[in-house]
């Protein structure tokens, strides 16, 4: 006999056992969620418990997706690297000169000093990525400021584990995930417009959605693309949902370049049921 608690996109398989505590688990690699409840637990109690842990469940699932799908980059010749949605083959040249990165129509050439460590190669690539983004972002901000009638005081590029972008509503600052450099340019533009719209409406309220739909009618497709493989983000589209805070915006699909340790055997949490 199977019992399932459905919470939006999450289905939680419930089993009952002669135990004292509720066990909620998110299992690798796919993020399957199970809840083992004491035999006599009423369905609504089990459900209320799951609802109260929804944020935690989403966080675990996001983490697992990161671990499962982020291939470790070694920064070696013939490795695939994406720039603006297009795949390039990496070519590593070791030479006694200042490290640099160049690109032609099918190859990214990373020049580093002989014997340089993976971390160094990664850092050089990261700086190059930031440079590419800095070439695009100011132009896009200038394009959208008059349309949205909003002023961006500053923007920041950073590695983010769980989001594509973010903003500080009061300071009028925008944060963009450096991983966006690997996506088609229109997705960068979408994330930017999304964040700029948050400078007007901090939450994902109906007003926000209306604003986005007016200026960026294709936003659902853009969002879907950002959320698809290799790493889906948690569902951030819930309008006015409690998970949305002022500085929180587009959760991301891909993590920073750092590869995390392999998934553990199931992220477990035990909690006493009252
Ligand atoms: Zn948002």
Indicate the average pLDDT of the chain. 80
How far is ligand 1, taken at its centre, from the CA of residue 110, in Å?
35
pLDDT tens digits, one per residue of 187-201: 999 999 999 999 999
Q: Does residue 250 surpass a pLDDT of 50?
A: no
How far is ligand 1, taken at its centre, from the CA of residue 128, in Å?
27
Higher pLDDT, 138 or 263: 138
Q: What is the DSSP letter of 180?
A: G
How far is ligand 1, taken at its centre, from the CA of residue 152, in Å?
16
Contact 234, 58 (CB under 8 A): yes
Strand order in the sheet with 165-168: 154-158, 173-177, 165-168
Q: What is the DSSP letter of 203?
A: S
How far is ligand 1, taken at its centre, from the CA of residue 12, in Å?
26
Q: What is the DSSP letter of 179?
A: G
pLDDT tens digits, one per residue of 53-96: 898 888 888 877 766 555 678 999 999 999 998 999 999 999 99
Instruction: For residue 2, count CB atoms less than 10 angstroms from its CB and return exposed for 0-12, middle for 13-18, buried for 19 or more.
Output: exposed
Q: Does residue 163 surpass a pLDDT of 90?
A: no
- Parallel, antiparallel, or unpaired: how do β-strands 154-158 and 173-177 relate? parallel
How far is ligand 1, taken at its centre, from the CA of residue 6, in Å?
24
How far is ligand 1, taken at its centre, from the CA of residue 239, in Å?
9
Ordered structural domains, the chain, with CATH: 3-70+261-271 (no CATH), 118-227 (3.30.2010.10)
Highest mean pLDDT among 31-40, 106-115, 255-264: 106-115
- Residues 164-184 have a mean pLDDT of 93
How far is ligand 1, taken at its centre, from the CA of residue 203, in Å?
7
How far is ligand 1, taken at its centre, from the CA of residue 194, in Å?
6
Identify the pLDDT of residue 267.
32
Contact 17, 38 (CB under 8 A): yes
| 3-state DSSP of 112-129 | ECCCCCHHHHHHHHHHHH
How far is ligand 1, taken at its centre, from the CA of residue 201, in Å?
9
- Residues 16-37 have a mean pLDDT of 85
Long-range contacts of 44-49 (CB under 8 A, 24+ apart): 45/273, 46/5, 46/14, 46/22, 47/5, 49/22, 49/24, 49/271, 49/273
Of the chain, the percentage scoring pLDDT greater than 70 comes to: 80
- Spacing of C-alpha 252 from chain mean position: 1
pLDDT tens digits, one per residue of 105-147: 999 999 999 999 999 999 999 999 999 999 999 999 999 999 9
Residue the block writes with tokens 């986005």: 212
Sign of the torsion angle spanned by Cα atoms 118, 89, 186, 63? negative
Confidence of residue 231 (pLDDT cuts 50, 70, 90): very low
pTM above 0.85, yes or no: no
Cβ neighbours of residue 266 under 8 Å, at least 6 residues apart?
A: 25, 26, 27, 28
């Amino acid at each position: 006999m199977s019992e399932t608690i459905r919470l939006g996109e999450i289905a939680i398989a419930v089993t009952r056992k002669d135990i004292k505590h509720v066990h909620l688990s998110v299992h690798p690699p796919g993020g399957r969620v199970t809840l083992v409840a004491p035999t006599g637990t009423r369905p609504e109690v089990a459900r209320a418990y799951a609802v109260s842990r929804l944020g935690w469940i989403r966080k675990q699932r996001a983490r697992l997706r990161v671990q499962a799908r982020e291939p470790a980059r070694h920064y070696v010749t013939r490795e695939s690297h994406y720039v603006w949605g297009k795949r390039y083959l990496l070519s590593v040249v070791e030479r006694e000169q200042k490290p640099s990165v160049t690109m032609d129509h099918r190859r990214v050439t990373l020049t580093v000093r002989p014997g340089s460590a993976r971390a160094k190669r990664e850092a050089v690539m990261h700086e190059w990525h930031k440079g590419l983004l800095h070439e695009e972002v100011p132009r896009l901000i200038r394009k959208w400021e008059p349309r949205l009638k909003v002023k961006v005081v500053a923007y920041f590029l950073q590695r983010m584990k769980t989001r594509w972008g973010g903003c500080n509503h009061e300071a009028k600052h925008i944060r963009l995930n450096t991983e966006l450099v690997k996506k088609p340019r229109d997705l960068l533009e979408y994330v930017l417009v999304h964040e700029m719209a948050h400078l007007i409406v901090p939450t994902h309220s109906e007003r926000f959605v209306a604003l986005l739909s007016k200026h960026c009618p294709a936003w659902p497709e853009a969002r879907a693309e950002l959320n698809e493989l290799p790493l889906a983000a948690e569902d951030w589209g819930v309008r006015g949902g409690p998970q949305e805070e002022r500085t929180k915006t587009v959760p991301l699909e891909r993590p920073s370049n750092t590869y995390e340790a392999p998934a553990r055997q199931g992220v477990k949490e035990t909690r006493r049921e009252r």
